[in-house]
Amino acid sequence: MLAAILDIMEPIPEQRGAGRLILLNGASSAGKSTLAKALQAALPHPFLHVSSDQLVQAGMLPRRTSDGGAFDLWHQIRPRFFAGFHRCLPAFAEAGNDLIVEHVIEFRSWRAELARLLAGLDVFLIGVHCDPEELDRRERSRGDRRVGEGRAHLLLDRIHTFGPYDLDIDTTAGVTTDLVQDIIDAWHRRRQTRALRP
């Protein structure tokens, strides 16, 4: 009897198609989180904000130990962690959620994997660019990033060289209301053929 009552109380999910994705790719400290939150507030429809940093900050990773414990195996865990993160994106979108995803696509193989996993979905890929000197300044100011991490993403990992974007933006001067509106306008005008393709 109780099970029948609980079944009646269970909300029926809204029937809709797959969600849309705005995917922000940029170096550490390029302003992706600030931009994602500003877009989330400005868009006329509800978007979920998704990032791998959120999972880390929630305590998903094993804690570092002084005697070389589980967290020191990060180099082994890391590929599986990001493979899982990439796979969660189509799951959320196919359930009907619109997403703003912030990411550092560090490898050409990651871009290819995302293109394969997100094939058939409405993905608007944005390159978030920022001057390396400004990245360094932000990292020093933040205090929670290794200074030089963002610069390494640009100059060593060459994260913006793996393929085209639907839109390129520069956040060196910060995330302004005008910049956010320009992105939303470009997203509304997006073409059927997109940059992220298998």
Grouping H, G, I as helix, E, B as strand and the rest as coil, residue 26 is: strand
Query: Could you give the domains of the chain?
Result: 17-60+68-188 (3.40.50.300)
C-alpha 184/C-alpha 96 separation (Å) is: 20
Whole-prediction pTM: 0.88
C-alpha 157/C-alpha 151 separation (Å) is: 9
The residues assigned a catalytic role are 53
Read off the tokens for 77. Answer: 């865990």
Q: Note the pLDDT of residue 85.
A: 98
95-164-180-190 Cα dihedral, nearest 10 degrees: -60
How confident is the prediction along the chain (198 residues), in pLDDT tens digits per residue?
555 555 555 565 566 799 999 999 999 999 999 999 999 999 999 999 999 999 989 988 887 665 555 556 778 889 999 999 999 999 999 999 999 999 999 999 999 999 999 999 999 999 999 999 999 999 999 877 788 899 999 999 999 999 999 999 999 999 999 999 999 999 999 998 999 998
Read off the tokens for 34. Answer: 């600030």
